A = this chain, B = another copy of it.
Amino acid sequence: MRISELSRETGVSIASIKYYLREGLLPAGTALGARQSDYGNEHVTRLRLIRALVDVVGLPIAKVKRIFELIDEPGDDIFATLGQAVDSLPPYTTDGEADAVDYPRARAVIERLGWTYDPRYAGTAQLERSIAAIDGTGIPMSDARLDAYASAARQVAEFDISRMPQADAAPAAAIEYAVLGTALYEPVLVALRRLAHQDITARSLAGDDES
């Protein structure tokens, strides 16, 4: 299809498509002459993903490029590739040499839970920072609370993974799922927690009034 049809098909303006082509986010089409190119379904798919990552998730172009590199060349270690793709999402860890860094608070929590501990993944640094922030208030997080949170987080993760495309058969789809699923569903989870707080509090106060 021509660029005008690609634009109609995806709802992305021709100017935006040209921008993504210039930035190297969208592969060039097949040249039909000096001024025209032919685009295929792979361009439609890629444009939808660009749209989601740039406009909806708000990722910087450089991070989106990195994710596409991983999709286009996932390599043999798909587990590591999935980790790298998700690590392209905020919040970003600032320590460049994660290999050399220990995360004592996160390690203690993860080891107690019996989960995999890998300091190279952004999740480890995120947990370390969030627990350090809590410790900074002078009221550490209790083991009971951590266990309750871990159990809930694991339930969500089990659901997520059960719906993930097979990473070995369809690595590109699995990477796309992991990245979008992480970026888009986290805000839903925290919004639902706040709404559940309200609902539970409202019910308990209503109960108080009746007693």
Q: Say yes or no: A79 contacts B202, CB within 8 Å.
A: yes
Q: Does A210 contact B (CB under 8 A)?
A: no
Q: Mark A119-159, 1 if CB is under 8 A from B, else 0.
A: 00111101101110110111101001110111111111111
The stretch of A19-27, A30-38, A59-67, A187-195 that contacts the partner chain: A187-195
Q: Say yes or no: A127 contacts B195, CB within 8 Å.
A: yes
**A102 → chain B closest CB, angstroms:** 16
A97–B195 Cα distance when bound, in Å, is: 20
Query: With A48-B137, A138-B48 as given contacts, are A150 and B197 in contact (CB-CB < 8 Å)?
Result: no
Q: Say yes or no: B156 contacts A149, CB within 8 Å.
A: yes
Instruction: Work out how many copies of this chain go into the complex.
Output: 2
Name A177-211 residues within 8 Å CB distance of B.
178, 180, 182, 184-205, 208
Chain B hits for A121, CB < 8 A: 194-195, 198
Q: How would you classify the secondary structure of chain A's contact residues: helix, strand, loop or mixed?
A: helix
Q: Say yes or no: A145 contacts B130, CB within 8 Å.
A: no
A180–B135 Cα distance when bound, in Å, is: 12
Query: With A159-B148, A196-B150, A202-B116 as given contacts, are A136 and B186 in contact (CB-CB < 8 Å)?
Result: no
Query: With A145-B159, A192-B150, A202-B116 as given contacts, are A197 and B178 in contact (CB-CB < 8 Å)?
Result: yes
Q: Does A29 contact B (CB under 8 A)?
A: no
A115–B197 Cα distance when bound, in Å, is: 10
The listed residue with most B CB atoms (<10 A of its CB), out of A82, A116, A121, A204, is A116
A52–B138 Cα distance when bound, in Å, is: 9
Q: Does A5 contact B (CB under 8 A)?
A: no
Q: Say yes or no: A126 contacts B191, CB within 8 Å.
A: yes
Q: Say yes or no: B110 contacts A195, CB within 8 Å.
A: yes
A141–B177 Cα distance when bound, in Å, is: 12
Chain B hits for A124, CB < 8 A: 195
Q: Find the B residue at minimum CB distance from A192.
A: B153
Sorted from nearest, which 6 A-B pairs have the closest CB atoms?
A157-B196, A123-B194, A153-B192, A130-B187, A52-B137, A126-B191
Taking A110-B195, A134-B184, A160-B193 as given, write out 4 further A-B residue pairs in contact, using a Cβ cutoff of 8 Å, ordered by the A residue number: A57-B133, A131-B188, A139-B180, A146-B188
